Amino acid sequence: MVALITKSVIDKIVEEGHFPAVRTKIKEWFLVKAVEDAQAHLMKHFGTHEMPLGDLQNLVRGKKKCRLVVCLM
């Protein structure tokens, strides 16, 4: 969900012509909308808000699709 929210925020900043900027302020209503949109996307496509990262991230090269597995030690 974080990736979807981050994408929405960056797209909005770029759209407003403020990217890259250090002091860009994001309005609270936009962050709330970004979270709601991310939740709606996950529910629509996956049926849940809690997705393991490996289920979302895939490496695609042509017709080959590999699931990425993250190992934290």
pLDDT confidence of residue 72: 47
pLDDT confidence of residue 32: 87
Domain assignment present for 24? yes
**13-71 per-position pLDDT tens digit:** 888 777 666 676 777 888 888 888 888 988 898 888 887 766 667 777 788 877 666 54
Domain assignment present for 18? yes
Better pLDDT: 24 or 10: 10
Domain assignment present for 49? yes
Domain assignment present for 13? yes
In total, how many domains does the chain have? 1
Domain assignment present for 45? yes
Tell me which residue range forms the domain holding 45. 2-67
b/e code 1-16 from CB counts within 10 Å (16+ = b): eeebbeebbeebbeee
